[in-house]
Amino acid sequence: SLFAYIHDVGRPRVGNGQYHWAVFIAGGANMADALGKHILVELYECDRDILNAHETIKDLMVGAAKAAKATVVTVDFHMFNPYGVSGAVIIAESHLTIHTWPELGYAAVDMFTCGDTCNPHIGMDVLGAALKAGTLNVTEVQRGNLRNLHPAAQQQLAATG
């Protein structure tokens, strides 16, 4: 079964915009029963010039990773013609990705983190503020339900802590 918790915090953590958060937990797992968090973020009413600035988007995504206390491994970003930027920040804890639609003032972002050393919500708050987003819709998915792993994999995970 799929459990969904939706929390509307209204006025925010990000400027004067709206911040909506939903958590989807597969099979009733909680964070202690999952390998990681996958944060899916839709940012609306963003600054269109920023969304079309390749180097700025790259710097903001790296900044979001660092704000979340993630360890940046590598980055790769691409500027589309006539507009839009896509890119990925690979972190030791997993990844962040973005695709922008400057003409619409919209960006789609995700951040997947494993373990408990970083907080992806902090990274998304920083990114939303930097993009001057009017509204953020955030969905959190708990990934890798440990109860669904094969018993041998569960034993190996328990042994490695």
**Which of the residues are catalytic?**
94, 99, 114
Phi, psi of 53, deg, nearest 5: -105, 100
**Using CA atoms, how far apart are residues 37 and 55, in angstroms rounded to an integer?**
27
DSSP 129: H
Q: How many CB atoms lie within 10 A of CB 59?
A: 14
The residue assigned the tokens 């964070």 is 31
Q: Residues with Cβ < 8 Å from 37, sequence gap 6 or more?
A: 31, 112, 113, 120, 140, 141, 142, 143
Q: Residues with Cβ < 8 Å from 54, sequence gap 6 or more?
A: 77, 78, 79, 85
